Amino acid sequence: MFVDRIFLHVAGGKGGNGAVSFRREKYVPRGGPDGGRGGDGGNVIIRASSRLTSLYEASTLKVCRAPNGKPGGGSNRTGANGEDMYIEVPIGTQVLDNKTGNVLFDLDTDGKSVIAAHGGRGGRGNASFATSVNQAPRIAENGRKGEKRDIILELKSIGDVGIVGLPNAGKSTLLSALSRAKPLIAEYPFSTLEPNFGVVEHKGERVILVDIPGIIEGASRGAGLGIGFLRHVERTRFILHLVDVSPHAIQEPQEGFNSLRNELASYQSALIHKPFAVVATKMDVTGAEEGLARLRQGLPSRVPLFAVSVPTGRGIEELLDFLLHTVTKLPVISSVEKKGDAFVSHSGEKEEPALRLTSPFLERLIVEADKKGREAENYINQQLRESGFERYLGSLPVPCRVEISGISLNWDGKRLRFNHD
């Protein structure tokens, strides 16, 4: 079953309690306190995996609670930490806060993981409370409760080329012809009920295609299969608009093309600014040439137009050459994470990702830090730590170049440092 949006309640494990214990050995009549601290509770970690293509596996989870830490013991023994609980999701899954709808994390690469709920710290044992005044304390801390959070997991498929079209326009047929995919193909609308993926390997290049279920007028407002599948177009680098030019088409070719453009613009205006091409399908049907002529007449001359027929193979090789030549030169789509009131934009670089952080809090912080002179760097890190924002930095790759209000800094995994290059 294909699932691309689920709700989860996640909870980190409780920290173990600290121990109250005193050293008891032969010939040591007054052994001091030796109660150890409790172990930390386990974290709930969400990890992207190329093994999965749907959130179905995560949707079957009944409880998303990490194990608790074990209590401390005598002889300064620290309790065992609770094991981390891993939830595997497909690449392209976003983690949203259920209350605000803000995107907390974006798992856009294989193996990328994020702590969705931190485990509680273990409590200190009585050995930690010994002082020169109180040499035999009989107190210990209880472990802290783990973090709890209601989240939404939303899958936005990551592919190079998104194939969109009206129902029964031939998207699945074209996908099977261009790639090794074997989608369900039928002569009725909405035979595609979930995004299908195909891998094109042609002349030493490789491109991933995503077949988006049929779009009808009003899809951006929930009509037909609804708004759900339109999100899968967001991360594609290129869009193929498939238009049925045969006499049996649902709409006239030009009207069909306009419907697709309108629905993409209604859902997200940025989609109509993506590079695209138009593919006229079913050219083997009698009367399709007339439909192609009408479509060509209504399109701007700069828009690439391909006439294809899967049964006869017409136009397939030309379309493959065009896709490999064009798409491989396009930049990888940047992912955007929203953390509270802060946005983090990823550039898509692999070596040392450059991120731009913007929020009113961070902008004020840079202004105040500018007044601190040599202490600016320490001031920034102190404020990030005290505000709790530093924990978001912990999910970033190391090393990582960060830009705040035009100021370049480097994150080394522990603190931000000014970039003096």
CATH number at residue 208: 3.40.50.300
pLDDT at 410: 83
For residue 251 the two structure tokens come to 């709409």
What is residue 12's predicted lDDT score, i.e. its pLDDT?
95
Across-strand partners of 105?
Answer: 95
Domain ends where: 120, 155, 190?
A: 155
Could you give the residue ranges of the DSSP H alpha helices within 122-222? 171-178
Same domain, residue pair 51 and 79? yes
Across residues 47-51, what is the average pLDDT?
Answer: 88
Taking the chain, what is the end-to-end CA distance rounded to the nearest angstrom? 51
Residue 150 has pLDDT above 80, yes or no: yes
Closest CA to 216 of 278, 165, 268: 165
Q: What is the pLDDT of residue 39?
A: 95
Whether 71 and 137 map to the same domain: the answer is yes
- The average pLDDT across 243-262 equals 88
Question: Is the predicted pLDDT of residue 339 greater than 50, yes or no?
Answer: no
Strand 238-244 to 161-165 pairing: parallel
Closest of 13, 38, 40 to residue 125, by C-alpha: 38
Nearest-10 crossing angle of helices 316-327, 171-178: 80
Total domain count for the chain?
A: 3
Confidence of residue 195 (pLDDT cuts 50, 70, 90): low
- How much is the pLDDT for 358? 59
**Which has the minimum average pLDDT: 189-193, 233-237, 247-251, 400-404?**
189-193
Q: Give the domain range for residue 386.
A: 336-418
Taking only the tens place, the pLDDT of each residue in 283-327 is: 999 999 999 999 999 898 888 999 999 889 899 889 988 888 888
Please state, for a pLDDT cut of 90, what percent of the chain lies above it.
24
Predicted confidence (pLDDT) at residue 395 exceeds the cutoff of 60:
no
Q: What does the pLDDT average to over 234-261?
A: 86
Indicate the residue among 95, 123, 155 that finishes a domain.
155
Question: 93 and 170, same structural domain?
Answer: no
Res. 222: pLDDT tops 50: no
Residue 316 shares a structural domain with residue 356: no
Reported as a pLDDT band with limits 50, 70 and 90, residue 120 is very high
How far apart CA 167 and CA 192 sit, in angstroms, is 9
Task: State the Cα–Cα distance between residues 82 and 62, nearest whole angstrom.
Answer: 19
137 CB-side CA count, 13 A: 19
Q: How many CA atoms lie within 13 A of 123 on its CB side?
A: 21
Q: Examine the domain organization and report whether 150 and 165 are in the same domain.
A: no
Tell me, yes or no, whether 349 and 364 share the same domain: yes
In which order are the strands placed within the sheet that holds 148-155? 64-65, 5-11, 148-155, 93-97, 103-107
Strands, DSSP E only, in 233-321? 238-244, 276-281, 305-307
Same domain? For 57 and 169 the reply is no
pLDDT band at 216 (very low <50, low <70, confident <90, very high): very low
Tell me, what CATH number does 414's domain have? 3.30.300
The Cα–Cα gap between 330 and 323 comes to 11
> Which pLDDT band holds residue 392 (cuts at 50, 70, 90)?
low
Burial of 105 (0-12, 13-18, 19+ CB in 10 A): buried
- Give the pLDDT confidence of 367-379 residue by residue, as tens digits: 888 888 888 888 8
Highest mean pLDDT among 174-183, 216-225, 308-317, 349-358: 308-317
Q: What is the pLDDT of residue 199?
A: 73
Do 4 and 148 share a structural domain?
yes
Q: Give yes or no: residues 244 and 191 share one domain.
A: yes
Per the CB < 8 A criterion, the answer to whether 378 and 418 are in contact is no
Q: Report residue 291 as tokens.
A: 């439909």
For residues 149 and 167, state if they share a domain: no
Predicted confidence at residue 227, as pLDDT, reads: 47
- Which helix (H) or strand (E) covers residue 71, if one does? none
Please tell me the distance from the alpha carbon of residue 318 to that of residue 306, in angstroms, as a whole number.
Answer: 8
Sign of CA dihedral 249, 254, 260, 263: negative
Domain shared by 323 and 247, yes or no: yes
Residue 159 has pLDDT above 80, yes or no: no
According to DSSP, residue 372 is labeled G
Tokens of 347: 């550039």
